């Protein structure tokens, strides 16, 4: 990926320069991260271990929990690391990777919620055909299509965003790399 700009790192400038507020930010985000980790971890463990929950609705919910866990891990971990080490820098390639994975996981939520809405539609409007329309094979195909679509979408957005010459400096007024602020 060639970019004619000479930016080697970005500065994430969303929070205060005061050390006490940075530590407060770290502890607050750590609490949010641990709550999300615990909640999504419990959902994933419960659905995986309980045979009664191996239905299409819970299969999609498992995928949604994995996506949510990944999206919060993509942004909050770097922000917490910057707060605790009193730095604001993220490398150019780190920003590209964070941008891609965050977009991949957040766009995946939308694609997966669309698939889940079809699941609910079939369950409510065609309950007698539910087993034939949404068998395990169809669910896997729909989830795989959602994951492939989100990958392609994130890849195209990332390539388009970082192929544009970046000429307005390297300061990003956010705690993670985001399209409008980078452009």
pLDDT for residue 159: 83
pLDDT for residue 37: 94
Report helix, strand or coil for 8. Answer: coil
Q: Is 9-182 assigned to CATH 3.50.50.60?
A: no
Rounded to a whole number, what is the largest CA-CA distance in the chain?
61
pLDDT for residue 8: 61
Strand partners, 12: 172
The alpha carbon of residue 153 and the mean position of all alpha carbons in its chain are separated, in whole angstroms, by 13
pLDDT for residue 43: 94
pLDDT for residue 99: 83
Strand partners, 90: 10
pLDDT for residue 33: 92
Query: Following DSSP, what letter does each residue of 115-171 receive, concatenated?
Result: HHHHHHHHHHH-GGGHHHHS-HHHHHHHHHHHHHHHHHHHHHHHHHHHHS---S-SE
Residue 53 is encoded by which pair of tokens?
């929950």
Q: From CA 124, how far away is CA 31, in angstroms rounded?
A: 38
Task: pLDDT tens for the chain, 183 residues: list them.
Answer: 554 456 665 555 556 667 777 778 788 889 989 999 999 999 999 999 998 888 888 899 999 999 999 988 888 887 777 777 777 777 778 777 888 888 888 888 889 999 999 888 998 998 888 888 888 888 899 989 988 998 998 888 888 877 766 666 655 555 566 665 665
């Amino acid at each position: 990926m060639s970019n004619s700009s000479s930016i080697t790192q970005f500065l994430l400038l969303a929070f205060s320069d005061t050390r006490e507020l940075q530590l407060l930010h770290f502890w607050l985000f750590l609490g949010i991260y641990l709550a999300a980790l615990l909640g999504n971890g419990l959902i994933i463990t419960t659905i995986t271990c309980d045979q009664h929950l191996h239905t299409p609705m819970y299969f999609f919910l498992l995928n949604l929990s994995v996506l949510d866990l990944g999206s919060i891990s993509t942004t909050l971990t770097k922000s917490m690391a910057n707060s605790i080490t009193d730095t604001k820098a993220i490398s150019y390639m780190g920003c590209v990777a964070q941008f891609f994975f965050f977009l991949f996981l957040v766009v995946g939520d939308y694609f997966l919620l669309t698939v889940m809405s079809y699941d609910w539609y079939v369950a409510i409007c065609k309950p007698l055909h539910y087993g034939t329309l949404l068998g395990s094979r169809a669910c896997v195909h729909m989830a795989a299509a959602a994951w492939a679509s989100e990958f392609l979408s994130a890849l195209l957005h990332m390539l388009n965003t970082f192929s544009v010459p970046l000429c307005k400096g390297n300061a990003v007024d956010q705690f993670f790399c985001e399209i409008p602020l980078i452009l």
